[in-house]
Amino acid sequence: MSNPNHPPAVGVLEQGPELIFPPGFLWGAATAAYQIEGAATEGGRTPSIWDTFSHTEGRVVNGHTGDVACDHYHRMPDDVRMMADLGLRSYRFSVAWPRVQPGGSGPANTEGLDFYRRLVDELLNHGIEPWLTLYHWDLPQPLEDAGGWPARDTAGRFADYAQLVADALGDRVTYWTTLNEPWCSAFLGYGSGAHAPGRSDGADAVRAGHHLMLGHGLAVQALRASRPSAQLGVTVNLYPVTPASDDPADADAARRIDGLANRFFLDPLLRGSYPADLVADLKQVTDFGHVQDGDLTTIATPMDLVGINYYSRHVVAAPVEGAQQEPYWRAPSCWPGSQDVRFVTRGVPVTDMNWEIDAPGLVETLRRVHEEYTDLPLYVTENGSAFVDEVVDGKVDDADRLAYFDAHLRAAHEAITAGVPLRGYFAWSLMDNFEWAWGYTKRFGMVWIDYDTQIRIPKSSARWYAEVIRRNGLAGQ
């Protein structure tokens, strides 16, 4: 292994039999607009909260911004050809709201929409199914200035934007997801402040989460009305949450974090209610007075699929007894009301993000959503890992990323065998890109990007994934 920081167990393929996936399984890769497009001021695009945030000193590692990123805006046709070379059946991308509706209200920007029309046409010409995400975190800055997601009006603005994109692309895009990972938008954006817009207020984070879901429900209604045959869904990031010990106090910590991370979204979206224990946990933070009659019915508007992003597991323990408890409003946290819960590491191999590698957690997550919540088709809309890569003789041999994919695809197959209607899998990510607060310091791509020259080099994992797609499954080892 080329890097001494790599944990020893990673990079080794599991022993396993040949595993073939169901016919028609949708094999794809994912990206997001701000992470790859660049061209931040071109074609009528105006700033989003991520432009403002990344240009604010101290917010992103090394002061990196998405101004240029992978320059995908200018290199799109070549990038689509590269996807075709890799045999991708589907490509999940996001539309930049401030590119197609500068400022976040008013008429569409034709030049911005044209970019996505060309992208979708290019994909279709190469036999690649476009999978469109409407919101991957790039809220137009004027909407943040007007209150952002904690303000109810933003939900309505989002539905208007959804309508405008449906009018332009609805004739050629079948698969639509409204939001990507509303937990991150709400709790990292407005709770801990680690993500744009960088605000820290527990009550605002809870309100943001609600209005994101309300915007989702309104957008689904708008899309359904204008495009009855579209497949509509949302993408949530889920984690199994495990107590660190048998101690009932640790079990309670796990219940609380599961409430905030998972059930805060799954219950309203798929059951039309907030979990009572979560509402009780948040009592000191908010009285949920922002929830109006009918909101939960709107949020639970029927969908056609659920997208799940899976990366790791949370293992948690009760707060240390006697530790000084900060009142929630003084401790910026992405876990409002439960900010003293301890996150425990188990010493298992981790990725370059320090996220524990836990493929069985994917089986648990998929089974849970299916068995406890819904019969809808499920898709893994993101799964992947950052590792420190190296170019040697023009090649990148990312054995550990390849092993991560292999282990998680075996887990996905296990879930299917257990009866989960899993219909597709999107690797995160097609290529290295702007990893939010980590800038360009974390590489998740199957394709290496040289940020000075914009040269693309498919890594070993990309070649391996192409073979997985070709055989519709994994070879035996």
With respect to ligand FCB, which residue has the nearer C-beta, 202 or 445?
A: 445
d(CA 458, CA 445): 9
Residues 441-470 that bind ligand FCB (CB under 6 A): 444
Q: What angle do CA 25, 30, 32 make, to 5 degrees?
A: 150
d(CA 380, CA 236): 10
Question: In angstroms, what is the minimal distance from the CB of 34 to ligand FCB?
Answer: 9
Q: What angle do CA 126, 384, 378 make, to 5 degrees?
A: 70
Per-residue x/- track, 66-105, ligand FCB (CB under 6 A): ----------------------------------------
When asked if residue 358 is in the footprint of ligand FCB (CB under 6 A), the reply is no
As annotated, the active-site residues are 181, 382
CA R_g for the chain: 21
With respect to ligand FCB, which residue has the nearer C-beta, 397 or 435?
A: 435
Question: In angstroms, what is the minimal distance from the CB of 64 to ligand FCB?
Answer: 13
Question: In angstroms, what is the minimal distance from the CB of 408 to ligand FCB?
Answer: 14
Among the listed ranges 2-10, 177-185, 245-253, 299-307, the one in contact with ligand FCB (CB under 6 A) is 177-185
d(CA 46, CA 35): 16
Q: What does the DSSP assignment read for 253-282? A: HHHHHHIIIIIHHHHHHHHSS--HHHHHHT
Per-residue x/- track, 130-169, ligand FCB (CB under 6 A): ----------------------------------------
- Torsion sign over Cα 32, 431, 426, 128: positive
Pairing of strands 447-449, 456-458: antiparallel
Q: Which residues of 308-347 are buried (b: 16+ CB within 10 A; e: fewer)?
A: bbbbbbbbbbbeeeeeeeeebeeebbbbbbbbbbeebeee
With respect to ligand FCB, which residue has the nearer C-beta, 144 or 435?
A: 435
SS3 437: helix
Number of residues that bind ligand FCB (CB under 6 A): 12
Residues 293-332 that bind ligand FCB (CB under 6 A): 309
When asked if residue 389 is in the footprint of ligand FCB (CB under 6 A), the reply is no
Phi-psi label, residue 233: left if phi above 0, alpha if psi -120 to 50, beta otherwise = beta
- The CB-side HSE value for 196 (13 A sphere, CA atoms) comes to 29
Among 54, 101, 141, 180, binds ligand FCB (CB under 6 A): 180
With respect to ligand FCB, which residue has the nearer C-beta, 65 or 286?
A: 65
With respect to ligand FCB, which residue has the nearer C-beta, 235 or 339?
A: 235
Residues 424-443 that bind ligand FCB (CB under 6 A): 428, 435-436
When asked if residue 382 is in the footprint of ligand FCB (CB under 6 A), the reply is yes
User: Under the rule (CB under 6 A), what is the footprint of ligand FCB?
Assistant: 32, 35, 180-181, 184, 237, 309, 382, 428, 435-436, 444
